[in-house]
Amino acid sequence: STWDVMKPIFESIAAVAEGEPCVTHIGPGGAGHYVKMIHNGIEYGDMQLICEAYNIFKAAGFKPAELAEVFTEWNEGDLESYLIQITSKIFEQVDPETKKPLVDLILDTAGQKGTGKWTLINAVENAVVISTINAAVEARILSSMKDKRVDASKVLEGPKPELDVKKKKLVKKVHDALFASKIISYAQGLDLIATMGKEKDWNLDLGKIAAIWRGGCIIRARFLNDITDAYRKDPELSNLMLAPFFTNLLNEFQENWREVVSLATLAGIPVPAFSASLGYYDSYRSAVLPANLLQAQRDFFGAHTYERTDKARGEMFHTEWPEVIG
């Protein structure tokens, strides 16, 4: 094949992680371009989660110099990644003109080139939930509405975004919330890749895809080794959360994860990606959801029918509901 001919050339120039070149033939047709698009969607989620951690720390009184230390320490541990590393360097940067931390002088309006939005559109088309990535895209859109937000801040009331907590304890709690939410972001993106791969008959290898993300790309991170291992052990893994390594982490982190979301919410600190990640986790682990009421509503106004818990799956029922006025 053409790939067999070109493979030695690409491998000779590719980044290397764990002794393996970070390049592979993804699949036929547009498979490679598609996987790159979802990589960018996961990147959106990753970046937004880091920004929400930063926002929580700011509310607790952390200065950029302190945050540089926190993120440097994180980059030496299980959160090691390119994005954590560059974030630590951003907090160290001083503006030569004003001698103030540069991050404090950058306007809070984020740009985007479209891959995040394309990822959302594709997820909706394939009925795959990527709520963390969706929250990240919407957060960028909201950030661009600077003038409207400034006007709204003068009339819409809420708590003052301040946290009175012990800094050291908060660092641990936010670490756990960030790590857990990152797992969800990757789980959602990989679920979308797997779904589209089956739809297009691309025969995608999620273990290989995770492996090539370990070096030379924006989302490269230490825990991609664990993601690679998870899919190599079980290529048919239905969701990354169900791999034993990640199940154990989520079980370990969830108490601090919940506390961070609660602290932020009560203090009026927007954490849409943290919240969406936790909501996905709780929905996915729920054997029973309130969709029974939703389906009853659909049957009431549109005769859409419903299944019953005491009958075989696939057997549909309809109720003659009472008439209402209005």
DSSP structure string for 211-258: HHTTSSSTT-BTTHHHHHHHHHH-TT-S-GGGSHHHHHHHHHHHHHHH
Q: Give me the pLDDT at residue 326, please.
A: 67
Q: Give me the pLDDT at residue 325, please.
A: 80
Q: Give me the pLDDT at residue 24, please.
A: 94
Q: Give me the pLDDT at residue 290, please.
A: 97
* DSSP conformational letter for 95: -
Decide if 7 is inside a domain: no
β-bridge mates for residue 16, sequence order = 21
The secondary element (H helix, E strand) that includes residue 131 is helix 131-144
- Number of Cβ within a 10 Å radius of residue 272: 18
3-state secondary structure 16-83: EECCEECCCCCCCCCHHHHHHHHHHHHHHHHHHHHHHHHHHHHHCCCCHHHHHHHHHHHCCCCCCEHH
Contact predicate 274/52, CB 8 Å: yes
Domain co-membership, 169 together with 295:
no
CATH number of the structural domain spanning residue 280: 1.10.1040.10
- Give the number of domains in the chain: 2
Q: Give me the pLDDT at residue 198, please.
A: 96
Decide if 10 is inside a domain: no
Could you read off the pLDDT of 123-161 as tens digits, one per residue?
A: 999 999 999 999 999 999 999 999 999 999 999 999 999
Q: How far apart are CA 309 and CA 214, in angstroms?
A: 45
For residue 113, the SS3 value is coil
Asked whether the whole model's pTM tops 0.85, one would answer yes
Instruction: Report residues of the chain scoring pLDDT below 70.
Output: 326
Catalytic residue among 18, 36, 198, 233, which?
A: 36
Q: Domain span at residue 295? A: 291-326
Q: How far apart are CA 175 and CA 200, in angstroms?
A: 38
CATH number of the structural domain spanning residue 300: 1.20.5.320
Domain co-membership, 209 together with 321:
no
Could you read off the pLDDT of 167-187 as tens digits, one per residue?
A: 999 999 999 999 999 999 999
Decide if 9 is inside a domain: no
Domain co-membership, 201 together with 123:
yes
Q: Give me the pLDDT at residue 13, please.
A: 95
HSE on the CB side for 139, CA within 13 Å? Answer: 25
43 is catalytic: yes
Burial class for 10, CB neighbours closer than 10 Å (0-12, 13-18, 19+): middle
Catalytic residue among 7, 11, 18, 43, which?
A: 43
Q: How far apart are CA 122 and CA 205, in angstroms?
A: 20
Q: Give me the pLDDT at residue 61, please.
A: 97
Decide if 6 is inside a domain: no
Domain co-membership, 220 together with 323:
no
Decide if 1 is inside a domain: no
Domain co-membership, 326 together with 271:
no
Domain co-membership, 297 together with 188:
no
Domain co-membership, 113 together with 250:
yes
36 is catalytic: yes
